[in-house]
Amino acid sequence: MKFLSLVSMVLLVVSCNKNGVSNKPLKTELDSVSYAVGMDVAKNVKLSFEDFDNELFIQGFVNGTDSTDLKMDATKAQELVRGYFQKKQQEELAKRQEEARKNKEDGDKFLEENKSKDGVQTTESGLQYLVLKEGTGPKPVGTNKVKLHYHGTLIDGTVFDSSVDKGEPIVHGANQFVRGFSEALLLMPVGSKYRLFIPSELGYGANPRPGGAIKANSALIFDVELLEIVE
C-alpha cells in the first residue's frame, strides 16, 4: 500500500492527464526530485511485477482523482491489492521452501556418493575432506589467526567465492568460518591443501546471505590451502 501511495504521488506531481504523463522540462528542485522519485518507482514496479499495465494504472489514477467512471470502490481496490501481494508472498515462500528442499536432497545425495570415493575421509560431524597435499607445519587451534587461500563452489561447479581468483590470500580467525570449514582447518598442518565437502548444516544452512550464489540448504565444496599461522 505504501508503494501504491508513492506511485500516486509521483503521477500527481508530474502532471498526469488522460493522455498520459506530460514531458515537462526539469526547471526547479521539486521538478528534479519528482522525476527522480518517478524513476525509483519505475524500478520498483519492474521488481514487483512481471507484467504491469501502465495504461490501466493511469486510468485508475485519473478516475480516482476526479471520482468519475470508477470501476470499483476504494475498499474493493484495497482488498484486491492486499490479496494480490499476499498471494505473491505465499508463492515466493513456497518457491523458496521447494528450492531449499531440493538443495538439501541434492546435497545429501552428492555427499552419500562422495564419501565412498578414494581418499575421502568423513568426520563424526559429517564433514568430508580429501587431502590434496599434506603439510609438515603445526596445526592451528581455534584461537589462532591463519593465512590461507580458498576456492569455494557449489556441487554443480558454480563458484561463489575465491581468494585464488582474487589473487590475494586472506587472514582470518580459524574459528570464524562456517562450522565445517573451521573444523577442517584444525586438522590441517601448515602447508596443507585439502578439498572440503561441507553438508549444509555445517555451512550456511537455511539462512545464507540474501542475494548471493549460495541458496538455502546448499552443500559446499572448498579447496583450502593453509599458508601460515599468523598469531
Percent of the chain with pLDDT over 90: 58
Q: Is the pLDDT of residue 1 over 50?
A: no
C-alpha cell at 56: 490501466
* pLDDT, average across residues 77-86: 84
Judged on CB neighbours under 10 Å (0-12, 13-18, 19+), 42 is middle
62 or 5, which is more confident: 62
Between the alpha carbon of residue 227 and those of residues 162, 188, 189, 193, the distances in Å are 15, 10, 9, 9
**195 in Cβ contact with 84 (< 8 Å):** no
Q: What is the CA radius of gyration of the chain?
A: 27
Residue ranges of domains in the chain, CATH in brackets:
2-71 (no CATH), 105-229 (3.10.50.40)
Residue 14: its pLDDT value, please? 43
d(CA 139, CA 186): 6
Residues 102-150 have pLDDT tens digits of: 999 999 999 999 999 999 999 999 999 999 999 999 999 999 999 999 9
* pLDDT, average across residues 165-187: 96
Count each helix (H run) and each strand (E run) in the chain, helices first: 6, 9
* pLDDT, average across residues 91-112: 94
Q: Closest Cα to residue 133, out of 26, 230, 227, 29?
A: 227
